[in-house]
Amino acid sequence: MDYIEPPPTPKPEEKKRKEKFLKVLLNDKDEREIVIQKAQIRDVEEILELINTFAAMNLMLPRGPQYLYENIRDFVIACDSNVPVYSVTETREVLPLLVACGSLHVLWEDIAEIRALAIHPDYQHLGLGSKLIETMKEEAKQLGIHRLYTFTLTEDFFKTFGFRRQDRSELPPKVWGECSRCPKYFHCDEVGMVLDL
Ligand SMILES: CC(C)(COP(=O)(O)OP(=O)(O)OC[C@H]1O[C@@H](n2cnc3c(N)ncnc32)[C@H](O)[C@@H]1OP(=O)(O)O)[C@@H](O)C(=O)NCCC(=O)NCCS
């Protein structure tokens, strides 16, 4: 009897993932009405779409609905109420759109993590990322947290807020909780950064 080699098991990252954002038709002259607020349950689907589209480009960690529902109170979002877009039928429509998100996750008495910061590509370099960081910094201070940290690929962005690179061995063990669930566990390319408030 001939031995037939079984096909290789597909790696999770090879599974088909959505890699495109909804095409937004912004005009530089348009006045945008963007509101920053705490996320609600109804926002979960759009937050997942934003995060996982970046995750498919290997820029962020993917997240699932269970994580989002369990941690929804960590999230701040930015919404634009009138966004001109091309719909799936290629017609022009105006929709409300969740254009940015970020989350502040408390880990211990003195430390919280900034996670899942994502700005829709058509809304980057408008100061939204900075506004979300400032909002989360304020929330951390009000909670009595004195230190923030993040794992990121965009070191320079976080440097602009005073975050500094920190060797992994100097971070408290509590920050590693997420790593065992991370698809990058064996080949992590992210930098650990901290900010004292
Ligand atoms: C990184 C990111 C959050 C920045 O958000 P943003 O709203 O564009 O940032 P801001 O407009 O507040 O930028 C403020 C300044 O930070 C710096 N900056 C912005 N994006 C940067 C990046 N990707 N790398 C390095 N520096 C960056 C610039 O100096 C910028 O000023 P400028 O617009 O005059 O050039 C956004 O590009 C993003 O969502 N990227 C994809 C997902 C991601 O990498 N998330 C990071 C956390 S894991």
Among 124, 149, 160, 191, which residue has the most ligand 1 atoms within 8 Å of its CB, making it the best to mutate? 124
Quote the ligand 1 centre to 60 CA distance (angstroms): 13
Parent domain of 56? 13-196
Q: Does residue 8 sit within a domain?
A: no
Q: Does residue 4 sit within a domain?
A: no
Quote the ligand 1 centre to 146 CA distance (angstroms): 24
Residue 172 sits in a domain whose CATH number is 3.40.630.30
Label each residue of 104-125 as H, E or C.
EEEEECCEEEEEEEEECHHHCC
Q: Does residue 36 sit within a domain?
A: yes
For residues 3-18, one letter each, b for 16 or more C-beta atoms within 10 angstroms of the residue's C-beta and e for the rest, the string is: eeeeeeeeeeeeeeee
Quote the ligand 1 centre to 163 CA distance (angstroms): 14
* Residue 181: per-residue pLDDT: 72
- Tally of domains within the chain: 1
- DSSP letter assigned to residue 156: H
* Residue 179: per-residue pLDDT: 75
Q: Does residue 138 sit within a domain?
A: yes
Q: Does residue 110 sit within a domain?
A: yes
Q: What are the two backbone dihedrals, phi and then psi, of residue 174, each rounded to the nearest 5 degrees?
A: -55, -30
* Residue 85: per-residue pLDDT: 78
- DSSP letter assigned to residue 80: E
* Residue 10: per-residue pLDDT: 57
* Residue 164: per-residue pLDDT: 96
CA nearest ligand 1 atom 26, residue? 157
Q: Does residue 3 sit within a domain?
A: no
Q: pTM, whole model, 2 decimals?
A: 0.86
* Residue 25: per-residue pLDDT: 72
* Residue 18: per-residue pLDDT: 56
Q: What is the mean pLDDT of each run of 10 residues along the chain (197 residues)?
A: 64 55 70 89 96 92 95 97 76 86 94 96 93 97 95 94 88 74 75 93
Q: Does residue 76 sit within a domain?
A: yes
- Considering only CA atoms, which of 91, 122, 93 is closest in space to residue 24? 122
